[in-house]
Amino acid sequence: MAKPRFVYVTYIRTTPEKLWAALTDPQTIRKYWFGMTADCDWKVGSAWRLKFEDGRVADSGEILESDPPRRLVIRWRNEFKPELKAEGYSRCTMEIEMADYYPDFGGKAVKLTIHHEIEDEGGAKFIEAVSGGWPKVLSNLKSLLESGNVAFETKV
């Protein structure tokens, strides 16, 4: 397996079950993913698609691993930008674990780690595109779970 191109970590004051639900419920995803949502039953081997509000498919792939509420691995590629689609499939791993300490809070929190890697060599444009998006999506997800509100309604 290729070395992950980036790893993002965020600590969220919530429970693993609530975080798993937020990562897999289409209505919740829409709230923090700038109106986009995923269409999937989250079972191993099932098709996964991320769709725009108007129904166009942004990304598509399949579920490689699904172990609620701990681990989710999705293999996907971009579908709407030819130059990104050409770079092929990526593998996104999401891991949820309880952390005994929360740097900003001092109490228990849930640690969400996201690794993203490209299957083939190259993939520079793809990685640039997704690495710009993840921090915003994760900030929104954290705000939503901790306060019920998102920081950004639309992409800035």
Partner 1 sequence: MDLVFRALADGSRRELLDRLRAENGQTLGELCQRLDMTRQAVSKHLAILEEANLVATIKRGREKLHYLNPVPIHEIGERWIGKFERSRLQALSDMKKALETGES
Sites of contact with partner 1 (CB under 8 A): 3-11, 103-104, 113, 115, 135-136, 138-139, 142, 151-152, 156
CB of 138 to partner 1, least distance (A): 6
CB of 94 to partner 1, least distance (A): 13
Query: Closer CB to partner 1, residue 82 or residue 100?
Result: 100
CB of 146 to partner 1, least distance (A): 11
Query: Closer CB to partner 1, residue 10 or residue 15?
Result: 10
CB of 135 to partner 1, least distance (A): 4
Query: Closer CB to partner 1, residue 45 or residue 103?
Result: 103
Three-state SS string across the chain, please?
Answer: CCCCCEEEEEEECCCHHHHHHHHHCHHHHHHHCCCCEEECCCCCCCEEEEECCCCCEEEEEEEEEEECCCEEEEEEEECCCHHHHCCCCEEEEEEEEEECCCCCCCCCEEEEEEEEEECCCCCHHHHHHHHHHHHHHHHHHHHHHHHCCCCCCCCC
